[in-house]
Each structure stands twice: as structure tokens, then as C-alpha cells.
Amino acid sequence: MKYDFDRVVDRRGTYSIKWEVEPGELPMWVADMDFQTAPQIMDAMRKRLEHGVYGYTDVPKEWNDAYINWWRDRHHIQIENDWIMFCTGVIPAISSTVRKLTTPGENVLVMTPVYNTFYNSILNNGRNVLECPLVYENHKYHIDYADLEKKLANPQTSLMILCNPHNPVGKIWDKETLAHIGELCAKHHVLVLSDEIHCDLTMPGFEYTPFASVNETCRDNSITCIAPTKTFNMAGIQTAAIVVPNPYLRHKVWRAINTDEVAEPNVFAVTAAIAAFTQGGEWLDQLREYINQGKTIVKEYFAKELPQIQVVSEDATYLLWLDCSAVTSDSQEFADSIRKNTGLFMTGGYQYRGNGDSFVRLNIACAHSVIEDGLRRFKKGVEIYQGKAPAVIHASSVYNTPAEPEKKESTSVYEEEKQEEFQLDAGLLAFLEADSYEKKLEILNNLHAAITDSMIDTMAVSLDIEVKDGDIEQRYQEVLNCLLTMERFECNRLR
């Protein structure tokens, strides 16, 4: 079955955290996807919904089997039935584990830049964040093992939170690296808590290695958090699992999640997970390919249009870590400026610590047409930030547009009648005669520097829109917004 990831799904009005934005903004920040989940999952949940009774839910053996079989077949690790426990989410699992297996004032080590919510789980529980900054060279990251061992050897360090694959840099840690981490942690009696929620979102041809699968040392000194939620875009279902091979640690974790009341599923959590891991494989394989194509679109665009922005070499996740050091050393100011002037909403890298001050994180788990919209906004935002273009009112998003204006039936006659009246130059005439909105948009961009009020008036009449009086740049932007809308509808029809 062929799945349609090109379809643009309007998520406004669904209480989405990601989409609680201003009209015309394009959110490409928080890590959830804009694709509908696999149809098989929707069918399973629909069937459960239609039952009509939504009482307390148990975790059946089918749930364990779904995880066990998926990780055996996809990731070559044999998870035993009694190793695995249900939890409402990876972050609740991490927070509960931090509370139960460390004491206030101890250090929890993380390799930065790393997922910012780790800091909340550590600091909110009265523990200290101990950073081991990753080394950044030639647009890739690697570990400074001397620094890592020094910090693991600190007697106050009792836990390391590992991110595998690593968010936000997209790195898959190979078996040798994981073995080295495991050896150092065991040597210094530091427990490893491995967040592996992005494990199924590797690029085609790349596989991740579960930390617990590396060797006996890693297996017996680890707690692993996994879930279908990131992979199948159902974070709101709140369903995850904790894998703990060591029986002593497993009892501690079981006590932790039950004390915190995060060990019981809601009515859809089990159903969704079973459907995902038993029926979602083909959907996932096509998704991974589509995301990989999206990465290619971004890399090619930056190479041609914004060579000063470098995409960090990555093998996993749909989150691109963009090196903007040639443009800024203040990622918060940079991201805020782009959002203000173009509507593109990204995450400033400062939130992830490490060297994140000169990076932004871009979520490309959306239709390719939306990625292209975001890239145009990104380019405009960089130009404004560098003072190469005037500040503008941001363009309308594909998700926040009016219906397409009706085309005039006799465009060529209309153009002939207006040509003499407005004394059209070649550029404006080309705009009026262009047979697609894509071509009109290209011509409009080329005319930007020399555009006049009379030209804008002519374009507005030809497009059957009203442009308010005011600053010429604002009036130009209104025409641009309209064309972006029309181009989007045109592209959707062609698909």
C-alpha cells in the first residue's frame, strides 16, 4: 500500500501545542509530526472507541509481545517478557527514575547539546546537571572520553542520561562507542538511563544499536526507555515502555513509576501500541524514506541559496540541527527574529546547551511543500537578520489561507486592455502573462527591488485582490502572501 505523506493536514483547532501560534505562522519546532498516524492504528483505535465503554485498562501479554517481537525483528535484541514495564511516557519514566535512583544534590550527567527536557527532569528533582560537551568538528559530533571519564569519576555523579539516537544532533551511537560508555560507567559505578525514543527514525540504510544489546556490562547497568509515540506520531496517546534486564534495578524502577502513578495505561494506550508494532512496519518504512527525501530538499536548498548555513551530518530523527555560526552567535535572538519577520517558528539551539548558541533545530516531519515554504521563509529571515533585506510582515502559512480567488475567464483580453493604461514594462507584462502562480511568484521576487505602487495596483487587479494603502513594502508583501497561497493550492491540485 502506498501512503500519502504529501497531504497537508490542518492541525489548527485541535489543541495542538505545536500549532498554538499566530495566524500565518509556520511552526517547525517541537518534535511531533504533521502526518496522520498509520491507518492501521487509526482503525484499531476507532474499533476500541466504538465499543463505548472506557473503563480502567490492564496491560495484556499481547502488549509485551508486540514490543518484544518488534525489537527482535527490527533491532536484533531479545527482550525478555519480565524485563518490560508499561509507563505513560519516556519523560515520566526518566523523572521517576531520577527521583528513585539518585538523591538530592547528586550529579546527573548528560552529553550536550541534548534534549532540553532532560534538564527539567534533573533540576526539578533537586539534582545537579553535569554537562559533558560533545566535541564539534567538521560538522560532526564526537565524545571527549577524557572529559567524560573525569566527570563520571566525580563521586557525586550517580546517573548518566544517554540519548540514543541523540536529539538534537541526530547522531546514532555505534556499538563501539556505546561499549566504551558502558565500560566507563560501570567502572565508576554510574547507572545509565538510555532514552531511545527516536530509535525507529533512522535514515534508510542506517540502524541503531540498543544500549542494552551491546554486552553484559551494558545490559546489567542500564534502564532503557522506548515508545511508539515518536515513531508513529501519537505522543498524545501517552504510551511507553521501560526495559530493565537487571532484576534489582527493575524492582526499583517498578516502585518508582507506581509511586508516581505513571504505570497505568489510558484506554487507548495499549491498543495503539499493539497496532503500531504489529501492523505499522510498512507505513514506517515509507515514512523514513519520505523524511530522507525531505532532508535532501533542505540540504540542496541550503547549498544553493544559503551556503552559510550548514546541516550537521546526521543519520536519525526528523530534526535537523543547523549550524548558523556564520550568521549568529545568539540562537535565541536569531530564531526570534526569523519568527517575527517571516512567521517561521524554530527552536533556538541555546535551549540544548553545549555549543547550541549558534544553532537552530528545524523539524521537517511535514509535507515537502511545507518544507519548501519554510525554507523560503528561512532565507528571507536570514537576509533580514543580516540587514540585506527590509523587515517585512510575514507571509501567510499554507495552513492559514483563504480560499483561492476565482481566476478571470479572459486573462489575455484583460491584459491587453490594461497594457496601455498602465504603460507596462516588460517585467510587469511577464507577470500578467505568466501561466502559473509559481512563475508569477518568481517574477514578483525579481521585481522586488524596483517595484512601484502602480505596478502593485496592476498586479492586485489581475489577481482580483485588494491591497491596502500604506508603505510600499507592506503592499508588496500583501501581493506576495496572496501568491504564496495561490501557489500552494496550485501545487496541491497538481498532486
Architecture of domain 39-279: 3-Layer(aba) Sandwich (3.40)
In this prediction, residue 414 carries a pLDDT of: 34
Write a three-state SS string for the chain: CCCCCCCCCCCCCCCCCCCCCCCCCEECCCCCCCCCCCHHHHHHHHHHHHHCCCCCCCCCHHHHHHHHHHHHHHHCCCCCHHHEEEECCHHHHHHHHHHHHCCCCCEEEEEECCCCHHHHHHHCCCCEEEEEECEEECCEEECCHHHHHHHHCCCCEEEEEEECCECCCCECCCHHHHHHHHHHHHHCCCEEEEECCCCCCECCCCCCCCHHHCCHHHHHCEEEEECCCCCCCCHHHCCEEEECCCHHHHHHHHHHHHHCCCCCCCCCHHHHHHHHHHHCHHHHHHHHHHHHHHHHHHHHHHHHHCCCCEECCCCECCEEEEECCCCCCCHHHHHHHHHHHHCEECEEHHHHCCCHHHEEEEECCCCHHHHHHHHHHHHHHHHHHCCCCCCCCCCCCCCCCCCCCCCCCCHHHHHHHHHHHHCCCHHHHHHHHCCCHHHHHHHHHHHHHHCCHHHHHHHHHHHCCCCCCCCHHHHHHHHHHHHHHHHHHHHHHHC
Domains 26-36+284-385 and 39-279 share a fold: no
> With respect to CATH, is domain 26-36+284-385 assigned 3.90.1150.10?
yes
Per-residue pLDDT of the chain (495 residues; tens, 9 = 90+): 999 999 999 999 999 999 999 999 999 999 999 999 999 999 999 999 999 999 999 999 999 999 999 999 999 999 999 999 999 999 999 999 999 999 999 999 999 999 999 999 999 999 999 999 999 999 999 999 999 999 999 999 999 999 999 999 999 999 999 999 999 999 999 999 999 999 999 999 999 999 999 999 999 999 999 999 999 999 999 999 999 999 999 999 999 999 999 999 999 999 999 999 999 999 999 999 999 999 999 999 999 999 999 999 889 999 999 999 999 999 999 999 999 999 999 999 999 999 999 999 999 999 999 999 999 999 999 999 998 777 665 544 444 443 333 333 333 333 343 333 333 457 777 788 787 888 888 888 888 888 888 888 888 878 878 888 888 888 888 888 888 877 766 554 444
pLDDT of amino acid 461 = 78
Which pLDDT score is estimated for 156?
Answer: 98
pLDDT at residue 482, rounded to an integer: 84
Per-domain boundaries in the chain: 26-36+284-385, 39-279, 411-494
